[in-house]
């Protein structure tokens, strides 16, 4: 029996069932080529069709939702289920229903993010000021268009804007909406594209309309006189800064500071926060207050809770007895997002190109766009009037002999010949003849024709007026200004965000009022720090430490001091004693590497304590050099918590000491372990070769640079290093003259047996 041939192997390119030509074939492609062919089209799609608003103030998703609702008759009719609206919008928007519903929610009145909402909502639409208060599903909520939306669609049926195909070519949608007022500035808009973003703050409608009218009269008008400042739906206070606002008006970039509004109920001893900045949420504020309270920074706060209800936002902060609510709020403005910056980046699509424009340039572009809409509307009406006049002129010719027209129609044997016969009989064109032929028999009387043709004179005057209107830009602008005044009259509302001028701010706003009470600070070799009150220390003085750990610095001071921790990575971490929790001797204390967010494998070596950054720091390095640096060099105007290059990295630190004037308050109580020493202190440096040298601190010159290498102090040979530096009290060692020198650097002298025993390593 003959062996059967194996069937031919089917490869992807030979598979008759495949519908993808070349599938399965690996093609080599360069990364730059891939970016150009694949990534760039995606980036352009996000920029042009998703993230950035256009001159009408809307992103494509916003425009599609509103146009769908307009087409559903929701401008005047009853509300419709949100799910129904979302389903209809999917005919224009190729994205999922969740994205469409999310867009509609953010346009609604219930969400409370727009000064002038476009969607009238019924049901739970969430809140912009709450991170956790989510909106209900679309099947539970209802919506319709707000009355102000009539200003968005007023000229839509008069060819004021272009219409384009939807994503599958089955429907038409407007490329822009012919808005009669600058919506781009009236409601806030944010968006993140690929490589660029947009963040436009909202302004008061009345101020925007007045500013637009002023610019139409004079392009160089001072817009700051009419456009006071941004206005946000959430209200609050805006810290007025004319220079910052002028920067935004000019360049489209900058930021404005907005702070929360509160009421202080002195009887109930609580603060009620009712308005917050638009960039934060109630949950974020509460979390920050709780965090700072647990850290001991906000000792006046006894409780904080969210009491938001149907009446609106409300965050309640209960105060302890005797607390000053106004002073606490000034601190909360600095410590939390109760005062925050709204960053502006007026990035808008103009004729398909992303451009960052200032307020003046943006309004001038809107005026140009609106002039185009009005011109197209007038042209549409003009053509309609010309067509109507043309038909009426033909009808007027019939008036000369109605009987002749009837006779022509009666004698015509075929219906198709009626129009040509009327054209010949009266000298009219086809359109006019068709119009006459369609008139009902009952209307072929003198009265009807006279009634129809009496408008010829007024129609002619109207056509002449429209032609004159198109030829005179000043008249077009007058129409736009009239419409702006009408919008202002109908929809303007009072400012929600009040302006707070510099003269109204507290001049003596405290940075941070720290409770000042006596404490003992303990710093250990393994990087733990304890803050213990004297009362707690008297109850149990024995310190609990990690195995192998030991206390290296102890200081009796107060809770209001600043703490600086220097690490083996040549960095300095700043905090305050008030930020460390009170603890007990029986606890290990705060592990500083975790508490201060140190880098991996970073270990604190030394603690400096100060009130006003007076005094000096003295560093001894293993290579024998020493650096004396003013402590004031570590003071910063900003609230930085981490300083880089705080110490020289040329050699490891062998020892560090803080030097201060004897009159400083922190020296009233002498430390049990060396922490702060007098400026005239003397030190004993010991090397790994068994030599010792007495070094007076006054013989080391001061340096201004924090990470200075210092000056040579102890001369060491290769392989030898400084292993220990301790404060020295005159007369402590026998034959101490052996270890003294008139000039530095010096090698020092070999330690005698008796001196070596006295210096315990």
Per-residue pLDDT band for 432 (boundaries 50, 70, 90) equals: confident
- For residues 319 and 438, state if they share a domain: no
| Residue 140 bears catalytic tag | yes
- For residues 373 and 484, state if they share a domain: yes
- For residues 93 and 166, state if they share a domain: yes
pLDDT at 760: 54
- For residues 425 and 314, state if they share a domain: no
| Model confidence at 7: pLDDT above 80 | no
What is the extent of the structural domain holding 326? 261-337
pLDDT at 608: 92
Q: Give the residue from 141, 161, 179 where a domain finishes.
A: 179
- As for how many domains the chain has, the answer is 3
Q: Give the residue from 460, 491, 522 where a domain finishes.
A: 491
Can you tell me the distance from the alpha carbon of 576 to that of 294, in angstroms, rounded to the nearest whole number? 15
This model's pTM is above 0.85: no
Assigned domain for 507 exists: no
Residue 373's CATH number: 1.10.268.10
Beta strand residue intervals within 248-309, DSSP E = 253-259, 261-265, 270-275, 301-306
Instruction: Name the phi and psi angles at 653, rounded to 5.
Output: -80, 125
pLDDT at 37: 80
Q: What is the tens place of the pLDDT at every residue in 689-740?
A: 888 898 998 889 888 888 898 899 999 988 899 998 988 888 788 788 888 8
CA angle, residues 535, 541, 544, in degrees to nearest 5: 125
Assigned domain for 81 exists: yes
532 or 669, which is more confident: 532
Assigned domain for 438 exists: yes
Interhelix angle 418-426/430-437, nearest 10 degrees? 110
Task: Tell me the two tokens of residue 22.
Answer: 């070349």
- Which residue in the block uniquely carries the two structure tokens 């960053």? 343
pLDDT at 667: 38
- For residues 300 and 397, state if they share a domain: no
Residue 333's CATH number: 3.30.1360.40
Weakest-pLDDT range from 183-197, 389-403, 572-586:
389-403
Report yes or no: 640 and 574 within 8 Å, Cβ to Cβ.
yes
Report yes or no: 373 and 160 within 8 Å, Cβ to Cβ.
yes
Assigned domain for 327 exists: yes
Looking at the DSSP bridge assignments, the partners of residue 347 are 356
First to last CA, the chain: 99
- For residues 377 and 473, state if they share a domain: yes
| Average pLDDT for the chain | 87
Among residues 42, 140, 501, 517, the one annotated as catalytic is 140
pLDDT at 508: 46
- For residues 391 and 452, state if they share a domain: yes
Q: What is the tens place of the pLDDT at every residue in 749-759?
A: 888 776 666 66
pLDDT at 668: 38
pLDDT at 670: 36
**93 Cβ partners below 8 Å, 6+ apart?**
60, 61, 64, 65, 99, 100, 167
Can you tell me the distance from the alpha carbon of 67 to that of 71, in angstroms, rounded to the nearest whole number? 6
Q: What is the tens place of the pLDDT at every residue in 273-318?
A: 999 999 999 999 999 999 888 877 888 899 999 999 888 999 999 9
Q: What is the tens place of the pLDDT at every residue in 630-651?
A: 998 888 876 678 888 899 999 9
Alpha helices in 557-706 (DSSP H): 592-595
Alpha helices in 492-622 (DSSP H): 534-539, 592-595
Assigned domain for 224 exists: no
């Amino acid at each position: 029996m003959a062996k059967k041939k194996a069937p031919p192997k089917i490869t992807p390119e030979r598979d008759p069932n495949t519908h993808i030509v070349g599938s399965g074939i690996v093609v080599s492609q360069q990364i730059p080529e891939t970016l150009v062919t694949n990534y760039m089209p995606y980036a352009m799609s996000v920029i042009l069709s998703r993230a950035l608003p256009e001159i009408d103030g809307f992103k494509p998703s916003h425009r599609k939702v509103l146009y769908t609702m307009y087409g559903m008759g929701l401008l005047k009719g009853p509300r419709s289920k949100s799910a129904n609206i979302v389903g209809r919008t999917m005919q224009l928007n190729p994205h999922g229903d969740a994205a469409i519903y999310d867009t509609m929610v953010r346009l609604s009145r219930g969400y409370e993010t727009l000064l002038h909402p476009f969607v009238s909502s019924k049901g739970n639409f969430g809140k912009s000021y709450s991170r956790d208060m989510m909106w209900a599903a679309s099947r539970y909520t209802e919506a319709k268009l707000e009355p102000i939306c009539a200003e968005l669609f007023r000229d839509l049926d008069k060819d004021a804007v272009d219409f384009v195909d939807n994503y599958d070519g089955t429907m038409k949608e407007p490329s822009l909406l012919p808005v009669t007022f600058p919506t781009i500035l009236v409601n806030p808009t944010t968006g993140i594209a690929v490589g660029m973003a947009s963040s436009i703050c909202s302004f008061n409608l009345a101020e925007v309309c007045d500013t637009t009218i002023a610019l139409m009269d004079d392009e160089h008008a001072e817009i700051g006189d009419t456009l006071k400042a941004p206005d946000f739906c959430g209200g609050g206070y805006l810290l007025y800064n004319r220079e910052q606002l002028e920067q935004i008006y000019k360049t489209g970039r900058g930021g404005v500071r907005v702070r929360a509004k509160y009421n202080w109920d002195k009887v109930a001893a609580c603060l009620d926060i009712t308005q917050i900045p638009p960039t934060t949420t109630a949950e974020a504020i509460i979390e920050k207050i709780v965090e700072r309270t647990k850290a001991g920074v906000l000792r006046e706060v006894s409780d904080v809770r969210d009491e938001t209800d149907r009446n609106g936002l409300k965050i309640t902060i209960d105060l302890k007895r005797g607390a000053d609510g106004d002073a606490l709020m000034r601190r909360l403005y600095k410590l939390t997002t109760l005062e925050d910056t709204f960053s502006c980046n007026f990035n808008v699509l103009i004729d398909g190109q992303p451009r960052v424009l200032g307020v003046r340039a943006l309004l001038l572009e809107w005026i140009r766009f609106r002039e185009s809409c009005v011109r197209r509307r007038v042209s549409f009406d003009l053509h309609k009037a010309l067509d109507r006049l043309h038909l009426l002129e033909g009808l007027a010719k019939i008036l000369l002999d109605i009987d002749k027209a009837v006779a022509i129609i009666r004698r015509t044997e075929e219906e198709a010949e009626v129009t040509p016969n009327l054209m010949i009989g009266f000298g009219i064109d086809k359109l006019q003849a068709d119009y006459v032929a369609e008139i009902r028999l009952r209307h072929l009387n003198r009265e009807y024709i006279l009634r129809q043709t009496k408008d010829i004179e007024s129609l002619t005057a109207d056509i002449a007026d429209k032609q004159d209107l198109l030829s005179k830009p000043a008249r077009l602008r007058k129409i736009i200004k009239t419409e702006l005044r009408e919008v202002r009259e109908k929809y303007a509302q009072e400012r929600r965000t009040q302006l707070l001028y510099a003269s109204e701010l507290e001049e003596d706003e405290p940075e941070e009022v720290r409770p000042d009470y006596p404490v003992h600070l303990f710093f250990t070799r393994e990087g733990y720090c304890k803050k213990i009150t004297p009362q707690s220390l008297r109850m149990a003085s024995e310190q609990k430490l990690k195995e192998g750990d030991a206390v290296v610095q102890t200081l009796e001071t107060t809770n209001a001091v600043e703490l600086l921790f220097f690490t083996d990575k040549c960095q300095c971490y700043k905090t305050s004693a008030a930020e460390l929790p009170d603890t007990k001797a029986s606890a290990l204390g705060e592990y500083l590497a975790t508490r201060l967010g140190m880098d991996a494998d970073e270990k604190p070596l030394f603690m400096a304590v100060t009130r006003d950054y007076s005094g000096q720091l003295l560093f001894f390095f293993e290579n024998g050099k020493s650096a004396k640096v003013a402590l004031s060099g570590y003071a910063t105007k900003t609230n930085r918590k981490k300083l880089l290059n705080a110490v020289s990295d040329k050699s490891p630190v062998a020892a560090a000491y803080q030097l201060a004037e004897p009159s400083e308050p922190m020296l009233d109580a002498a430390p049990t372990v060396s922490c702060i020493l007098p400026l005239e202190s003397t030190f004993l440096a010991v090397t790994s070769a068994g030599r010792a040298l007495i070094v007076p601190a006054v013989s080391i010159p001061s340096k201004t640079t924090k990470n200075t290498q210092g000056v040579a102090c102890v001369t060491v040979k290769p392989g030898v290093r400084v292993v220990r530096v301790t404060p020295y009290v005159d007369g402590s060692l026998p034959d101490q003259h052996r270890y003294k020198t008139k000039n530095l650097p010096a090698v020092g002298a070999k330690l005698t047996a008796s001196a070596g025993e006295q210096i315990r390593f």
